[in-house]
Amino acid sequence: MSFVVKAVGILQQPATGVLLWNNTSVRNMATLKDISRRLKSVKSIQKITKSMKMVSAAKYAKAERELRAARSYGLSAKAFYDNLEVEKSDTPQKQVLIAATSDRGLCGAANSSIIKSIRTQLNEEKQNLEGTKVVAIGDKSRAGLARTHSANILLSVNEVGKRSVVFCDAAAIAQQLISSGFEFDSAEIVYNKFKSAIAYTTSRQKVLSNDTIAASKSIQVYDSTDADVLRSFQEYNLASVLYYTMKENATSEQSSRMTAMDNATKNAGELINKLTTYYNRTRQSVITTELIEIISGAAALEQKQ
């Protein structure tokens, strides 16, 4: 938080380069005005962070309620991919990384942890960089990756985070991914899995492509599935898993924003206390200095007489 650093700077460094007309009172008066200006701005920032905390607490409650309903749905869809055994292949796999982030910041480490995880993976995969594409959901991930890996971004989605996620959104993203023409072997959704109001973990959910599923041994167990049914099933499952991970991420993001704004409010409160004390001390020293000047001036006049 940059404003904290600047305000603390006022406390630690004396204002050296200020106009020394009177050598004392001008410097203190300027500092007084500075401090009072700084105090006012920190107070208004505290009000803002407090209201942001309230808003995100309300949004978090709503998101958590919706997540509870979506969890049964999502875990069933997830279980299909998790229980299917896939043989490892030696040929370089074409992969898609789906980053579930949001458009807005001020949410602590929620978005940046996802971006960091993807960036380290992209930097490691020196040999398969062309075969790895990124779907950036949310402006934050797009901005975070566009500078260094803009060639790898396949799709980007924005207007995420303002309203809660609906199945239509996830279905639209899944539709775009499938019709983008990029034949991927596997995909991973990087998202923040919600654990509690103060904890979330950055997790990955693997998604298998239609070819991989058809070639898997475990799919033979399922009776009378022809290619059309399997493809429809797979596409619907992709949208379902995407919906579930986006819901989890939204809840984690709101809880993280709530915590971050709470911390900011607390820090601003501490800063206000420190600044107020300093302001009062400075004010008293200004008064004392003026008194001393007046008295010494008066004493000098008396002596002359």
Partner 1 sequence: MGVGGHKHHYNDSNIEKEMKSIGDADPLAKLKELCSQDHACEHFKHRLQECTNRVNSKPWTKETCNEELLDFLHCVDECMAMAATRFLIRTATASRNPVFRLMSARTQATSAAPVTGTATDMLFTFASPSEVFYTQAKNVRQVDVPTMSGNMGILAHHVPILGVLKPGVVSVFETDGNTKRFFVSSGSIAVHPDSSVQLLAEEATAVENLDSTAAHDALSDAQRRLGAAKDDKQKAEAQIEIECAEAAIKAASGVFQ
C-alpha span between 289 and 26 (Å, rounded): 11
Q: Helix crossing, 2-12 with 227-304: angle to 10°?
A: 20
Extract the tokens encoding 224: 């009378």
Extract the tokens encoding 74: 């999502």
For residue 177, give the 3-state DSSP assignment.
helix
For residue 227, give the 3-state DSSP assignment.
helix
For residue 242, give the 3-state DSSP assignment.
helix
C-alpha span between 197 and 265 (Å, rounded): 18
Smallest Cα–Cα separation from 284: which of 11, 19, 14, 31? Answer: 31
Smallest Cα–Cα separation from 3: which of 257, 262, 254, 275? Answer: 275
Binding site for partner 1 (CB under 8 A): 66, 69-70, 72-73, 76-77, 79-80, 83, 166-167, 221-225, 229-230, 232-233, 236-237, 240, 243
CA atoms within 13 A on the CB side of 70: 26
Q: Which residue has the tokens 């997540």?
A: 67
Quickly list H helices, 109-156. Answer: 110-124, 139-149
Strand pairing class (132-137; 153-157): parallel
